[in-house]
Structure formats: C-alpha cells, structure tokens
Amino acid sequence: MKKLLMGVAAVAALVTGAGAAQAADAAAGKDVFKVCMACHTAEQGKNKVGPSLFGVVGRPAASIEGYQYSAPMKEKAAGGLVWTPENLDAYIKAPKEVVPGGKMAFAGLKEDAKRADLIAFLAEQK
C-alpha cells in the first residue's frame, strides 16, 4: 500500500508540474517582455544593445548576422547552444551562470511563472 501511495504521489507531482508548464500565458509574457525592452526588441532585423529576440526560440545562440556577440557567447554557440525553451529558462533565470563573462547585464528573472510566460511570448515572435 505504501508503494502504491508513493506512486500516486509521484504521478500527481508530474501532472501538476506538466499543468504548470502548460499554463504559460503569452499575453502575460508580453508584459514581462517590457523588462527586456531596455536592451532587446522582438522585431525581425532590429537589434539594440542586445540582439533581436524575434525567432529566438529554437535558434542557435549567437546566430544573428551583424550583431557583435561577446566571446563567451560565441564559445557557447560553438559548443552547440540552441535557445530551446529549457535553455532560455535557465539563461533568463541566471544569465551569468549560463554564459559566464557574457555581456548581458540583466541579473535574472527568478519567478518561474514569469519566465514561462515570457518564453511563451517569445515563442510566438516568428
């Protein structure tokens, strides 16, 4: 019985976690993106201090032609970094941990739900 209850609890945790991930709200993410707008746009071909985030989800890191990426970001790109939702989540949470020495000055967005919403919004920008 104890094993059965532990199994049910594990399944419930997985379902709850999956439900939370699916609850990402792109409209709310548009509001979160306002924090990013000091350095980024979601317009194709328009860079600011940071590169355009148009089409970022699924894009290889450091791949916008003409943008001057930092050496550490270029190294990550050479190592195969792709901006999957999982990699974006880690980077947005703690940029300096994912790309030490990179030029992104943002300290990170700690709230899981806000990061999920932001990534949902960015996924629509294509």
Half-sphere exposure of 99 (CA within 13 A, CB side): 29
CB 83 within 8 A of CB 52: no
pLDDT in the model for residue 22: 52
Q: What is the mean pLDDT of the chain?
A: 86
The residue extents of the domains of the chain are 25-124
DSSP 118: H
pLDDT digits (tens, 9 = 90+) for 54-89: 999 999 999 999 999 999 999 999 999 999 999 999
Give the per-residue SS3 of 39-82: CCCCCCCCCCCCCCCCCCCCCECCCCCCCCCCHHHHHHHHCCCE
pTM (2 d.p.): 0.81
Q: Name the CATH code of domain 25-124 (choices 1.10.10.1150, 2.40.33.10, 1.10.760.10, 2.160.10.10).
A: 1.10.760.10
